[in-house]
Amino acid sequence: MNLIDLEDAGGNRCVVRVSGRSQPGVLTGHDILQADVLVSASFVDARLELYILQQDLDTWQHDLAQLAPGKGATIGGDRGLSLDFFMHEDRTLSLTVQDPDRMNIALGIAPEETWIQDHHQRLDQVRETWPSEVVETAPMAYEWRSNRRG
């Protein structure tokens, strides 16, 4: 399921495809989602691995809601791979993909006008498919939520 799917007429594309839980049934890894980041342009065709925490989804949701010319949005972060989006005045995006172990890529994408609304829906679909089912009751102490599905 694609959490992020941005493409333009020039063939520049960035996809964050969530494939599932990192460690299903294991309290410390159950809510961590495993994803592939696919970046393609005339000069690059990369596939990178990203682990998404529930806090990453919260940050992405907040950033999308606030995104406007001159502002940015991020997913990933200080644990490794990160994707940083910056919106220009003409509403095009600069995307920086930083993987400290492999590469840094910068490219421009001119997405369709409705991409932000589309990505709010994508985020909702990811949260419906893989809801948060673990709660941290104290530092490094976890338990299942009472409304856990499975």
Q: Where are the alpha helices (DSSP H) in the chain?
A: 54-66, 115-129
pLDDT surpasses 80 at 150: no
The pTM for the full model equals 0.92
- Out of 37-46, 69-78, 119-128, give the one with best mean pLDDT: 119-128
The CB density around residue 123, as the number of other CB atoms within 10 Å, is 17
CA angle, residues 107, 33, 114, in degrees to nearest 5: 45
What backbone torsions phi and psi does residue 12 show, to the nearest 5 degrees?
-75, 135
- Which two three-digit tokens encode residue 79? 């644990």
Q: Which residue in the block uniquely carries the two structure tokens 């989602």?
A: 33
**12-60 confidence digits (pLDDT tens):** 999 999 999 999 999 999 999 999 999 999 998 999 999 999 999 999 9
